[in-house]
């Protein structure tokens, strides 16, 4: 009798899962769900993000190619200087 009770548990779970699946897959007529509503919400989100980004960031087209190369070179020089200072600090701390 106890084994029948244990077999009843998965059977009830399967019936419950079937009922929930049919309820979740039902055709809703409220109009609150669907691709059109989600796409409209996403479009509004993108528009808001573009407005906020436009106020804080300059467009990439305004950077001159030669300016970009100059910035890259100056950045490399700064990295070299930092690495040299780091090596000097390590040598002075170890006493070599």
Residue range 5-64, pLDDT digits in tens: 899 999 999 999 999 999 998 876 665 566 777 888 888 999 898 887 765 555 555 555
- Determine whether 12 is exposed, middle or buried from the number of CB atoms within 10 Å of its CB (0-12, 13-18, 19+): exposed
Q: Which of 37, 13, 33 is nearest to 25 (CA)?
A: 33
pLDDT at 10: 95
pLDDT at 13: 97
pLDDT at 80: 75
Q: Which residues contact 31 (CB under 8 A, 6 or more apart)?
A: 37
In the predicted structure, residue 73 carries a pLDDT above the cut 70 = no
pTM: 0.32
> How long, in residues, is the chain?
96
């Amino acid at each position: 009798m106890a084994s029948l009770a244990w077999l009843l548990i998965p059977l009830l779970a399967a019936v419950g899962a079937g009922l929930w699946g049919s309820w979740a897959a039902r055709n809703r007529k409220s109009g609150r769900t669907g691709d059109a509503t989600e796409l409209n919400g996403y479009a509004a989100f993108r528009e808001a993000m573009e407005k906020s980004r436009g106020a804080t960031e300059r467009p990439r087209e305004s950077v001159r190619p030669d300016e970009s190369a100059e910035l890259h070179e100056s950045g490399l020089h700064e990295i070299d200087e930092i690495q040299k200072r780091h090596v000097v600090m390590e040598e002075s701390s170890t006493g070599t």
